[in-house]
Amino acid sequence: MMRKILIVDDDQKTRTLLKAYLEKNQYEVLLAQDGATFLAEFQRFADELSLVILDVMLPDTDGFALCKIVRRRSNVPIIMLTASSDETDRVVGLELGADDYMGKPYSPRELLARIKAIHRRMGVDTAATPRYYRFLGFTLDTVERTVLDADQKVVALTGLDYQLLKYFVAHPGAILDRSVLFEETRGRDSGPLDRSLDVQISKLRDRLNDDGKSPQLIKTVRGAGYVFSADVVVSAS
């Protein structure tokens, strides 16, 4: 099934960040900056959408009015976003037919989790993950759980190495903080003095021949985390 999302938010920075983040996670994203643009896009793509995201506060209308219009025309899932801490907004949105509600500020990662949960309930194929990730001569195979170098030789990786690298290549260009990476590889958050993740990344760089002083793959973003900086090409075969 389709994985096309329409987002309306009057903040350009928010729209741009969400689009980039969701597209890296294999979603097609359409954007609108106000109610009029949203309705025009919704009218055009209504039958193709798998979800819409409505900001409550907009310059020409509000998300509640848009929610009512969408719900009259379609059963597409709706997530509403608001900066208001008033519980009334949440209740009104849900009563109008929204499927979920998030307060601002929120993390894109949590929003993605909400989107995936809704899509799972809908039966949208979120399991259509590419088999191969190719970057700087390497090929990561998610079926065989192997990594080949440019000479087609298997790179010796531990299970944790593989999990970490897979998460990196699935989120190229995104700054990933230590707590996210720790949770993804170990299933729990890290303590403030736990440096095991940094040690693991250093070892992964060594195994990929990625110079720690001038890395081409995994770069440190001081005070923020790490980023996989190489271009990644994904494919099913």
pLDDT tens, N- to C-terminus, the chain (237 residues): 468 999 999 999 999 999 998 988 888 999 999 999 999 999 999 988 999 999 999 999 999 999 999 999 898 999 999 876 566 666 777 788 888 888 888 888 889 888 988 887 776 654 556 789 999 999 999 888 899 999 999 999 988 898 899 999 988 998 888 888 877 776 544 444 457 888 899 999 999 999 878 999 999 998 889 999 999 998 877
Contact 76, 54 (CB under 8 A): no
Instruction: Give all strands of the β-sheet with 218-221 in edge-to-edge order.
Output: 175-176, 225-228, 218-221
pTM, two decimals, is: 0.55
DSSP 34: S
Domains (ranges, CATH) in the chain?
4-122 (3.40.50.2300), 132-235 (1.10.10.10)
